[in-house]
Structure 1
Amino acid sequence: MGKPVSGGAVVSALAVLTALAVGGCTVQPAGTDDAGARSPVRIQVSHPPSDDKPGATATPAPAPKKATPAPSPPPPVLWSRGDSGRDVRELQARLRQVAWLYDGPTGSYDDLTETAVKGFQGKRGLPRTGKTDTVTWQRLLRMTREPGQWELFLMGGQPAAYPDPRCLTGRVLCISKTSRTLRWMIDGRTVSTVAVRFGSQYTPTREGVFSVYWKSRHHVSTLYDSPMPYAMFFSGGQAVHYSSDFAARGYGGASHGCVNVRDETAIAAIFAEVSNGDKVVVHW
């Protein structure tokens, strides 16, 4: 028979069991080391297999790259430097309306027009190409109005009016106030046409049938002390002549009654052909 268990041992055992129960743990079997003391149980934790090296962290897979959209093709170009015609004249007239062009309209897409288009484009965040493409043109159309005949031919170049019947015979300087043009005509055939400017409301150019009575190549006005090259006098002090002011300012100014011509080369050629006694017709 074994030795009887003392009351103290029973009490100690009960105290241990009570403490374990209160801590929420259960008694686990324990091994015994060489000294006979109980050793804690080692629990083996299994991990899912991994191809990574020990201690390495997994690298997330890269996100797929978004496809870059193809660039949009540039808008079609309507007009660019070197072009000419009525459409270019309208472009220039509209650029004048928004104060990007101060010369013209001339009908020729020159360096001044190209610079004006670049400025207009840059102000509105468009590519500064200097070429009028469809996007630039539509933006300009929304900001301007349809130019009238006066605006389109502010610097001349307007199609000449049909000749007055009095211009159809002989050698005639046929001058129209309606179209602001001068036709040099011989027997009903137009030899050349130039843009002209007339007198103001207070110094109007006379209308009617006259004749050239005096030509003065290097004339200077004694009344206004202003040059009047290639002057061909037809009525008192009124003459057809070249005007540098007309060439510079267009129809922003006026003469003192003379018929001003802005194309110096053209008026020089007409001056060389016209003779004293040739007819001059000023009409509407």
Structure 2
Amino acid sequence: MQRSSGRGTAPAVAAVLVVAALAVGCRPVTVTGTSAPDGNKGVRHAPTTPAPPPLGLHTPPARHATGPHPARTAHTGPKAPRPLMAVGSRGAQVRELQARLAQLGLFDRAPTGSYASVTAAAVRAFQKRQGLPRTGTVQPATWWALRSRTRPPSRAELRPPTTRPAGVLDRRCMTGTVICISKRSNTLTWVVNGRIAAAMDVRFGSQYTPTREGTFHITFKSRRHISTLYHTAMPYAMFFSGGQAVHYSADFAAHGYRGASHGCVNVRERRKIATLFAAVRPGTKVVVHH
């Protein structure tokens, strides 16, 4: 029997070992260089690629949507249209609104062109009557309903001479040009030789700061006056007794007789006080009476 030379034995043994290792699930050792670990030259091992990491080991975290979660998004619905008029509005349209409400008996004062609490209450009353949402603001539906149930206001309805009747003139107001102011009727009348040329609503000081009564004269006028005591605007101020004056009051225009002055005679309507301011001269007689 011919004996093997031994040269082919080592490769054969190595191959058997590799097959055996694979059979039991072991991984062959990755060897650097060209020689086998047993020192036999000529045996080369192919470089082994590392197995991929377990699934998910290096998987980047899932990215979430940046928007709000659908379940947490509140359904607000469409926004309500902006009202045509609301508390704080001013102008000719507000004056027309007030005059139309007055035609229906819902606004019992002279139109002022200033939308305040009294106007809001009248609007709510109209909305209740018509079965509309009682917001106190004038939406297009409210405005259309009001216009369809009223007629265009006349000039006298838009700008009546006064809300309150002037009453009987004090005898001291019967001669010359006089600013005649009645605490009884809450009116100021511009009297020329016993005839009433203009009339307007006024209010007076509170019981703690009463408006003085008697006969006075205009000492000076100030178109854009600011009170040095109360730091409030006193447009068209005409001073007649110390710091007391006849002047326009935005608060009176907005809130009516719920407030009071600090002793001055407040006028509600700017246009009328502006006309009076232009006509009055220093020295003009002023009579404040009951």
The correspondence of residues 154-173 of structure 1 with structure 2, limited to 5 A, is 157-173=163-179
1:13 corresponds to = none
* 1:103 alignment partner in structure 2: 118
1:122 paired to 2:131 = yes
TM norm structure 2:
0.51
The change in CA–CA distance for 1:85 and 1:175 in structure 2 (over 3 A counts) is farther
Query: For 1:212 and 1:227, how far apart are their aligned partners in 2?
Result: 19
Residue of structure 2 in register with 1:241 after alignment = 247
Deviations 1:183-219 (A, max 9, x none): 0111111111010010001001011111101111111
**Structure 2: unaligned runs, 5 residues or longer:** 1-95, 109-115, 134-141, 150-161
Q: Quick check: 1:207 aligned with 2:213? A: yes
After the TM superposition, which residues 163-242 of structure 1 pair with which residues of structure 2 at under 5 Å, given as runs?
Answer: 163-242=169-248
Distance in 1 between the 2:119 and 2:171 partners?
A: 32
CA apart distance, 1:114: 5.5
Does the 8 A contact of 2:117 with 2:255 survive in 1?
Answer: no
Post-superposition offset of 1:113: 4.5
Identify if the C-alpha distance between structure 1 residues 238 and 82 changes in structure 2 by more than 3 Å, giving closer, same or farther: closer
Give secondary structure in 2 for the equivalent of 1:233: strand
The alpha-carbon distance between structure 1 residues 161 and 201, as it changes in their structure 2 partners (threshold 3 A), is same
Question: Could you say which residue in structure 2 is the equivalent of 1:268?
Answer: 274
- 2:72 corresponds in structure 1 to none
Do the aligned partners of residues 87 and 217 (structure 1) sit closer, same or farther apart at CA in structure 2, a change above 3 Å counting? closer
CA RMSD of aligned residues (A): 3.1
CA contact (8 A) 1:117 1:131 kept: no
Residues 186 and 102 from structure 1, CA distance in 2 versus in 1: closer, same or farther, beyond 3 angstroms? same
Change (3 A) 1:211 1:227: same
Larger Rg: 1
Equivalent position SS for 1:266: helix
CA distance in 2, matches of 1:159, 1:197: 14
TM-score (norm 1): 0.52
- Please state how far the C-alpha of 1:121 moved relative to its aligned partner: 3.5
Gaps of 5+ in 1: 1-80, 94-100, 106-111, 134-155
Distance 1:92 1:132 in 2: 17
State whether residues 117 and 132 of structure 1, in contact with CA within 8 Å, keep that contact through their aligned partners in structure 2.
no
- Relative to 1, partners in 2 of residues 1:194 and 1:89: Cα closer, same or farther, differing over 3 Å? farther
Length, aligned pairs only: 167
SS at match of 1:251: helix
- After superposition, the Cα gap between the structure-2 partners of 1:277 and 1:267, relative to the gap in structure 1 and judged at 3 Å, is same
Shift of 1:160: 1.0
Contact 2:98 2:107 (C-alpha < 8 Å) held by counterparts = no
